[in-house]
Amino acid sequence: MNLKLIVALVADEKVDRVMAAARDAGATGASVITSVRGEGLKPEKSFLGLELTAQRDMLLFVVAAPLARTILETISVAGKFDEEPGSGMAFQLEIEDAVGLKTQRETIIQEIEESL
């Protein structure tokens, strides 16, 4: 199966919007890891030893490879990644193999076949 993993690090308040956009673009589901932390070009300042960094969530989408770029661009627009500093980022990786996709398998295969 030809699959990609899209990893999106999203500002907490934009998660629902990004998830909906990914589904509309063809993602069949996602895993969410909450309360991750990151540091951009300029580290956030602290106040009395307390960090002022905003919470992020990590969204993991396993998608049909032919749809990956479209989904990536769609979530970038939905999350305003290039417009608002600190709103998030996303990237895609190739998946060599995967198991546990029984409920999504037919949809993913159909999406791959339609793109050929």
Residue 45 lies in a domain: no
**CA distance linking residue 82 with residue 43, whole number of Å:** 19
Q: What is the CATH number of the domain that holds 59?
A: 3.30.70.120
Residue 44 lies in a domain: no
pTM over the 0.95 mark: no
Tally of domains within the chain:
1
**CA dihedral for 15, 62, 95, 69, sign (positive or negative):** negative
Residue 43 lies in a domain: no
User: How many Å is the Cα radius of gyration of the chain?
Assistant: 16
Q: What is the pLDDT of residue 107?
A: 75
Q: What is the pLDDT of residue 48?
A: 59
Residue 93 lies in a domain: yes
Please identify every stretch of the chain with a pLDDT value under 50, giving residue numbers as ranges: none
Q: 3-state DSSP helix/strand/coil percent for the chain, to nearest 5?
A: 35, 30, 30
